[in-house]
Chains A and B, each alone.
Chain A
């Protein structure tokens, strides 16, 4: 099997734009893998083949690269890919309990997708938001300061198709496929939405302002 002609045409157009940004075409491989993931919700056999063909490298080389990186999925991720940080700090602050309760609540384990294709779960390593611990991500948007209850509510809302807003992110949560397209280097127009910085990011600045502390004058 391979992509239908109209799909292939569309992907080729995007792929050429991406490849054109780099001094050497092979540098576009990671973005292209995100691109095919935006089509299929995972890196499919077709996706691997497409990347290989367009870059003129072997499929084995493409598979060798895609399997190295955890963000490329080998089977379809859910429409909403939900991650719980279980690295040391988040785990201690409650991430372990969130994971246990959420996994039991959904009946899903690590890297498993619900039968209806709505949600998948992943145990995440540190996502660089430790001051917001415990942290969760949905389609790589931040859901800060979670509790077991808020985590279960979040996943229930996602399954029920309710509006869900990231803590620091756009008004509308995009799908896993849409997120993959942004990662391919083809952003949507939501950059202006959401706060500049949230909660803990501003604590130091608040203390400085309250005390009249500033960097020295030039």
Chain B
């Protein structure tokens, strides 16, 4: 049996966890600044840490892509670290409580990561709709400056770092790293064509690392305890711990920090089971952009490889659990409305495709569709997938394809009865009361 491994969440039940006194001195940052920057990158590579923002790209390798030394013309461009704190993927709710309860783990991670990639300016791009989290970030940064952990000559090493907390303004697309960079430069947040990747031409066309909050916040523990310690948790190719976010129809939804490779069956058990008298119908392994799973998949190890092998993605470990009272068509419609709302409009397949998916799904949910409509939404999704600059469009197709695959009968049922066969009241929190 897998057991929980609180690291980032270990201090959250302390009333002072978000203050610098509660967090303690930045010992890991001090240690890192005494190392060669390349040795810091090597340590993160050796730990096996993979990006916690969804894609799972090896963090140390990303840092290693930043070109060091002068350009061909002899000039040197500044390097930047940008933390992606724009957590907005439906179901994903780990970075927000992390930054509220433990912002210093992130700030300390920023110092270590910036030092490793030789950046003297770093940014935390946080979504705007979380006011108290933004207060806590500002306070943590201010405290770190006051202690001399940020600013000039940090720990007497001669290393300088400025850190800015930057609030977004309501756009899911800004969680896409190149859209985030455009937004941080003061433009509409629309994705850029890659390559060039941010490591070569990122913020202000300079070498830039964009990392997720949880990735960066995990770094101090790796430096403090060693890469082997981190790699001792998790599975062969998905090392370490991660925060698993359970929401929906479970008895105790919440944040469960566990080694990668834990199963949903184990997690639901820890969360007190599915809500009483009900069963799992479908769930997402990592947010709405990851194809849904059903009760067949409760024993799939939640790591990058095993989830991928079963046709979904680990994503952000955003486990939204829906029981048998939930209409899958309605749920997919709501996700689709979200993608249509958040499509930035740059690429035609995504902009037009999500709009039409929404129209057809509305008809389907109302029981006014035909079986032909199922072919239509599948066809639209096929024409979005892989045909846009960024992954938003791809994400929009995940609920469509996976729901038609597992719940074709339920779509058909809507036409047979001429409406939704479910009572929406039954799926509510108070539906059983």
Residues of A within 8 A of B (CB): 21-24, 26-31, 33-34, 55, 64-65, 68-72, 83, 86-89, 91-94, 96-97, 124-134, 137, 139-142, 145, 147, 166, 168-170, 174, 179, 182-185, 187-188, 190-192, 194-197, 199-208, 211, 213-216, 218
Q: Which residues of B contact A94 (CB under 8 A)?
A: 428-431
Is B17 interfacial (CB-CB < 8 Å)? yes
Q: Which residue of chain B has the shortest Cβ distance to A212 in the bound complex?
A: B3
Closest Cβ–Cβ distance, residue A126 to chain B (whole Å): 4
Query: Judging by beta carbons under 8 Å apart, are B134 and A183 in contact?
Result: yes
- Per-residue CB contact flags for chain B residues 321-335 toward chain A (1 = under 8 Å, else 0) read 010001000111011
Query: Judging by beta carbons under 8 Å apart, are B12 and A23 in contact?
Result: no
Query: Judging by beta carbons under 8 Å apart, are A218 and B229 in contact?
Result: yes
Could you tell me the distance between the alpha carbons of A71 and B127 in the complex, rounded to whole angstroms?
10
Is B172 interfacial (CB-CB < 8 Å)? yes
Q: Which residues of A contact B322 (CB under 8 A)?
A: 92
Q: Which residues of B contact A166 (CB under 8 A)?
A: 132
B121, B129, B338 — most chain A CB neighbours (10 Å) = B129
Query: Judging by beta carbons under 8 Å apart, are B87 and A70 in contact?
Result: no
Partner of A140, one of B12, B128, B185: B128
A65, A97, A139, A191 — most chain B CB neighbours (10 Å) = A191
Partner of B184, one of A27, A89, A93, A140: A27
Partner of B93, one of A124, A128, A188, A214: A128
Is B425 interfacial (CB-CB < 8 Å)? yes
Q: Which residues of A contact B225 (CB under 8 A)?
A: 218
Is B421 interfacial (CB-CB < 8 Å)? no
Q: Which residues of B contact A83 (CB under 8 A)?
A: 129
| Beyond known contacts A202-B255, A207-B256: 17 more, CB 8 A cutoff | A27-B186, A86-B334, A92-B326, A92-B428, A97-B425, A126-B89, A126-B92, A128-B92, A129-B96, A130-B91, A131-B93, A183-B167, A196-B18, A196-B100, A204-B9, A215-B10, A216-B229
Partner of B130, one of A24, A127, A197: A127
Could you tell me which residues of chain B, from 319 to 358, have a CB within 8 Å of some CB in chain A?
320, 322, 326, 330-332, 334-335, 338, 341-342, 344
Query: Judging by beta carbons under 8 Å apart, are B334 and A207 in contact?
Result: no
Q: Which residues of B contact A201 (CB under 8 A)?
A: 9, 12, 97, 101, 254-255
Query: Judging by beta carbons under 8 Å apart, are A24 and B204 in contact?
Result: yes
A-B contact pairs, 5 of them (CB 8 A): A26-B185, A27-B185, A83-B129, A94-B430, A184-B167
Closest Cβ–Cβ distance, residue A79 to chain B (whole Å): 15
Q: Which residue of chain B has the shortest Cβ distance to A174 in the bound complex?
A: B131
Q: Which residue of chain A has the shortest Cβ distance to B7 in the bound complex?
A: A215
- Per-residue CB contact flags for chain B residues 189-216 toward chain A (1 = under 8 Å, else 0) read 1000000000000001000000000000
Query: Judging by beta carbons under 8 Å apart, are B186 and A28 in contact?
Result: yes
Could you tell me the distance between the alpha carbons of A100 and B267 in the complex, rounded to whole angstroms?
33
Is B78 interfacial (CB-CB < 8 Å)? yes
Query: Judging by beta carbons under 8 Å apart, are A131 and B14 in contact?
Result: no
Could you tell me the distance between the alpha carbons of A116 and B409 in the complex, rounded to whole angstroms?
50
Could you tell me the distance between the alpha carbons of A130 and B229 in the complex, rounded to whole angstroms?
31
Query: Judging by beta carbons under 8 Å apart, are A88 and B334 in contact?
Result: yes
Is B4 interfacial (CB-CB < 8 Å)? yes
A218 in contact with B131 given A29-B186, A69-B171, A130-B91 (CB within 8 Å)? no
Partner of A208, one of B6, B92, B326: B6
A-B contacts counted at CB < 8 A amount to 285
Q: Which residues of B contact A213 (CB under 8 A)?
A: 3-6
Q: Which residues of A contact B95 (CB under 8 A)?
A: 128
Q: Which residues of B contact A204 (CB under 8 A)?
A: 4, 6, 9, 243-244, 254-258, 270
Q: Which residues of A contact B7 (CB under 8 A)?
A: 215
Closest Cβ–Cβ distance, residue B391 to chain A (whole Å): 17
Is B135 interfacial (CB-CB < 8 Å)? yes
Query: Judging by beta carbons under 8 Å apart, are A129 and B93 in contact?
Result: yes
Q: Which 4 A-B pairs have the closest CB atoms?
A: A203-B254, A204-B256, A29-B186, A200-B254
Query: Judging by beta carbons under 8 Å apart, are A93 and B13 in contact?
Result: no
Closest Cβ–Cβ distance, residue A71 to chain B (whole Å): 4
Query: Judging by beta carbons under 8 Å apart, are B12 and A65 in contact?
Result: no
A202 in contact with B254 given A89-B91, A196-B12 (CB within 8 Å)? yes
Closest Cβ–Cβ distance, residue B231 to chain A (whole Å): 11
9-residue interface stretch from B245-253, B293-301, B412-420? B245-253
Could you tell me the distance between the alpha carbons of A88 and B330 in the complex, rounded to whole angstroms?
8
Closest Cβ–Cβ distance, residue A95 to chain B (whole Å): 9
Is B183 interfacial (CB-CB < 8 Å)? yes
A128 in contact with B13 given A91-B334, A205-B6 (CB within 8 Å)? no
Could you tell me the distance between the alpha carbons of A72 and B171 in the complex, rounded to whole angstroms?
11
Query: Judging by beta carbons under 8 Å apart, are B331 and A92 in contact?
Result: yes
Query: Judging by beta carbons under 8 Å apart, are A131 and B247 in contact?
Result: yes
Query: Judging by beta carbons under 8 Å apart, are B247 and A216 in contact?
Result: no
Partner of B233, one of A65, A69, A170, A215: A215
Partner of B13, one of A129, A137, A196: A196
Could you tell me which residues of chain B, from 1 to 51, have a CB within 8 Å of some CB in chain A?
3-7, 9-19
Is B291 interfacial (CB-CB < 8 Å)? no
Could you tell me the distance between the alpha carbons of A195 and B10 in the complex, rounded to whole angstroms?
15
Is B138 interfacial (CB-CB < 8 Å)? yes
Query: Judging by beta carbons under 8 Å apart, are A140 and B188 in contact?
Result: no
Could you tell me the distance between the alpha carbons of A151 and B169 in the complex, rounded to whole angstroms?
25
Query: Judging by beta carbons under 8 Å apart, are A140 and B248 in contact?
Result: no
